[in-house]
Structure 1
């Protein structure tokens, strides 16, 4: 059997990965404030001191979340296996992604006391954990997040002044390529299809486009990109005065917010934003041997702290956040099921959606498990597609044939830690801060929103945004979602009426922007939300996210 992925030993990390040679677990420690720092850094994130050393810890920990992986395979680990998070006794702010040995998955419970056990693989000692000899008789309170959900709002920075760059930008056009599974179409072809349609929808020609923006940009493989801005410019010859592409932005639709800044600052008048995925064709080509599969001998950067333990998918991270939400607030699988059923009901009215067949709660609950508590219908639908949106300066938008969709506010602030396993544990990381930031930039409130387009790479993403944006209180989603009525097309807060990523297809957030434009123009056909005048669009997916509040030009 192939060995599991191993971390690349560097000067900064070797102490951690080899500390098990003498059976002792070690971390960086700040000599100024005594905080443990993990992953290793050149500075303490708490007091910003530079006096750092390495210290031994007892190797005892608390189990704060876990998921039983049933679906994903990883070299050296055959499913089912457990991916877990534990907090270190000496500083519970430090969490490790790890594996659990010495007990059956059914015996695991949050709050269990654990002790470290090292497994040597070549020159690496992997810290795994097993149940401690003594266990508490009563459930224990789990270590809180830093900052906790109740503290997020206090950390959000208020606007610098009354002027809003958002009010200088508008969304004027949108288009989509064909969408489906294993289309076998080159990704740049899909991009051109979507972009040509978006430009025509805006009433422009390609010669009128003077800006290009995309996510995640060039160099991204595995079916999640098409070559970036350079590839499209080479194909169309647009010659933009401004362009932008990359992953370190405001989530998958960060290109749209960046374009708003560009037109507000006078760098461009009409920016063409696009997002292309071709994951299903890429995967098919891998299976057929038409595309080389690469497996690095050693993993680096953030992956080194998760991949050795079989955490190879975003599902493994978010499933553990779902477990914590269940534990903290009494949420159940049925709570998540109402989101999946709602999206499928919307998709039934959308001829573009990939999955349109009826879905019942029994179907949802009996679907094959993926990684607990997620089943098949908690996960979005991989597809091939491209979505494009034109962002225009407001004065230029007034000259176009269709009424523009105006931008009321955006939310972008980083408040939580960026590492998935060190960040918010009860919700999708990177939603609470951005949501709170949005409401500081507008006088509108959640009750003013007519339709919500919320990222649903997994059902838990959508639940997180519902609570973060204040459509119900933190921990109140179980009651808010019960029965699915509140989020239905005729409910208090219609959510993803086109089917979302769970049924329409995984277009990585840009499909949500397109649906918001469609709804605010009144072009939704059978799925149209009556009287829709304001829409919130939230995208992320465990990355730094972005949220925007849009309104019709009335």
Structure 2
């Protein structure tokens, strides 16, 4: 009998660094080969490919590798592919792949996200900045208000929590401090030095109340996930992790922002699509492009009520490896590097397989949540080891 479920089988990740000399396509191929080895598959088994957002020249290094680059370089014979900006954040590429395998359009879909922003900034001759001209796309809604960075957009929501709900910087700090502590146990993490509360409190402000340590940093790396059809598991030789539920949403990009970011409706929707509940989650990998994104995901997913994430974070013990809800066990983007969404699903699989090494959560975790985005667009995956 056919199995209509979708699973993450292979996972792979390239070297993670800053200003790497290795070409981004080669980093992508490194991660693909690791994922294929992990799954026990070959290039001939891959019949689908999905990425976010597809190849884009601007901003420099943001997305230097597209599906066609990979198809041509590896001589893939795919019958389904996907790539584009207009999906529900980075892990939306996985959502699209799930649809492909569950509808019979593919058996094994290669999903990847490659970033090269640090290297691109250091080599402007190869990766030129855009010159003067008309601004279009998402930024046309933001640049007229001098909102150049996502730190500006997210900080407004963070300041509301400070003013309305009493969120304290000492509470917000626990996300960055915990991320660094977990990154120290991850051999691939970008930043492995510990962060103290004094370090955090004395750091310069970026966009109040977000300081330097509330922000991830440009990174060069590629991360790969293989999504396989349930009736294709006979091809793989690894522990397959079932995608139990998915949820996603999009809010307005304009400066006339929505009252609640997309993490809130997305989090609520996830639990409508599964028999599991927030209390069943053993480990949470929550997008932290900025630390406050984690606050919105904690509240949006129902781990605490709206406005109560500060108290939930407390002194950080609840989100430590041995805490009630181990958070971003690989270091998150703040500690492990800006893997741009894919790192969270990658780590969820690592934890559910018990392969985390020094950072492995005790007690054989079975249920994990992984998210990406959470501002104007958001995606959440609920992953289960059966």
> TM-score if structure 2 supplies the norm length?
0.96
Whether the 8 Å CA contact 1:537–1:548 is kept in 2: the answer is yes
Give the alignment of 1:273-422 within 5 angstroms.
Answer: 273-286=111-124, 289-414=125-250, 417-422=251-256
Which residue does 2:80 correspond to in 1?
242
Q: Which of residues 189, 192, 211 is equivalent to 2:48?
A: 211
Point out the more displaced range, 220-229 or 441-450.
220-229
SS in 1 for 2:29: helix
Which residue matches 2:71?
233
Shift of 1:383: 0.7
Residue in 2 that maps onto 1:551: 384
**Against the structure 1 CA distance between its residues 408 and 166, is the aligned structure 2 distance closer, same or farther, given a 3 Å change threshold?**
farther
The SS at the match of 1:224 is coil
Give the drift of 1:290: 4.3
Rate the CA distance shift 1:308–1:423 in 2: closer, same or farther, 3 A.
Answer: closer
Residues of 1 paired with 2:301 and 2:105: CA distance?
32
Partner of 1:154: none
The answer to whether structure 1 residue 180 and structure 2 residue 17 are counterparts is: yes
Deviation at 1:474, TM superposition (A): 0.5
Q: Residue 26 of structure 2 corresponds to which residue in structure 1?
A: 189
- C-alpha distance in 1, partners of 2:136/2:64? 24
When residues 301 and 498 of structure 1 are mapped into structure 2, their CA distance, relative to the original with a 3 A threshold, is closer
Q: Which has the higher helix share?
A: 2
Give the alignment partner of residue 441 of structure 1, picking from 273, 294, 304. Answer: 273
**8 Å Cα contact 1:214-1:273 kept in structure 2:** yes
1:224 corresponds, among 58, 62, 66, to 62
Rounded to whole Å, the distance in 2 between the matches of 1:480 and 1:518 is 25
Q: For 2:318, what is the secondary structure of its paired residue? A: coil
- Please give the alpha-carbon distance, in whole angstroms, between the structure 2 residues aligned to 1:380 and 1:249: 22
By how many angstroms is 1:371 displaced?
1.6
8 A Cα contact 1:248 1:544, kept in partner: no
Q: Bigger radius of gyration, 1 or 2? A: 1
Provide Cα deviations, 1:70-101, integer angstroms capped at 9, x if missing partner: xxxxxxxxxxxxxxxxxxxxxxxxxxxxxxxx
Q: Deviations over 1:369-415 (max 9, x none)?
A: 2121111100012110000010001121244221210111111244x
Q: After the TM superposition, which of the residue ranges 239-248 and 384-393 deviates more from structure 2?
A: 239-248
Q: Does residue 535 of structure 1 match 2:377?
A: no
1:420 Cα deviation after fit: 4.8
Whether the 8 Å CA contact 1:533–1:551 is kept in 2: the answer is yes
User: What is the rounded CA distance, in whole Å, between the counterparts of 1:446 and 1:167 in structure 2?
Assistant: 25
Report SS of the residue matched to 2:382. Answer: strand
Counterpart Cα distance in 2 of 1:226 and 1:397: 32
Aligned partner (choices 466, 471, 475) of residue 298 of structure 2? 466
Contact 1:408–1:442 (CA under 8 A) maintained in structure 2: yes
Measure how far apart 1:515 and its partner are.
Answer: 0.3
Secondary structure of the residue aligned to 1:298 is: coil
Q: Is the 8 A contact 2:3 2:230 kept in 1?
A: no
Deviations along 1:98-141, one digit per CA (max 9) or x if unpaired, are xxxxxxxxxxxxxxxxxxxxxxxxxxxxxxxxxxxxxxxxxxxx
Shift of 1:250: 2.3
Q: How does 1:113-262 map to 2 (within 5 A)?
A: 168-221=5-58, 222-262=60-100
Deviation at 1:297, TM superposition (A): 2.9
Distance 1:435 1:369 in 2: 29
Q: Distance in 1 between matches of 2:191 and 2:278?
A: 30
Query: For 1:490 and 1:167, how far apart are their aligned partners in 2?
Result: 35
Q: Tell me the alpha carbon deviations over residues 308-366 of structure 1, each in whole angstroms, 9 at most, x when there is no partner.
A: 33211111110111111111101021121011011111001111111111111000111
For 2:369 and 2:361, the matched residues in 1 are separated by 14
Aligned in 2, Cα 1:208/1:459: closer, same or farther, shift over 3 Å? same
Per the normalisation by structure 1, the TM-score is: 0.67
Q: CA deviation at 1:305?
A: 3.7
- C-alpha deviation, 1:257, in angstroms: 1.1
Q: Which moved more, 1:295-304 or 1:274-283?
A: 295-304
CA contact (8 A) 1:212 1:273 kept: yes
RMSD: 1.6
Alpha-carbon distance change, 528 to 460 in structure 1, aligned in 2, over 3 angstroms: same
Task: Give runs of aligned pairs for residues 64-143 of structure 1, distance below 5 A.
Answer: none
Q: Are 1:505 and 2:337 matched, yes or no?
A: yes
Please state which structure has a larger fraction of its residues in strand: 1
Deviates more, 1:391-400 or 1:480-489: 391-400
For 2:210 and 2:3, locate their aligned partners in 1 and report how far apart those are by CA, in whole Å: 37
Task: Say if 2:314 is the partner of 1:493.
Answer: no
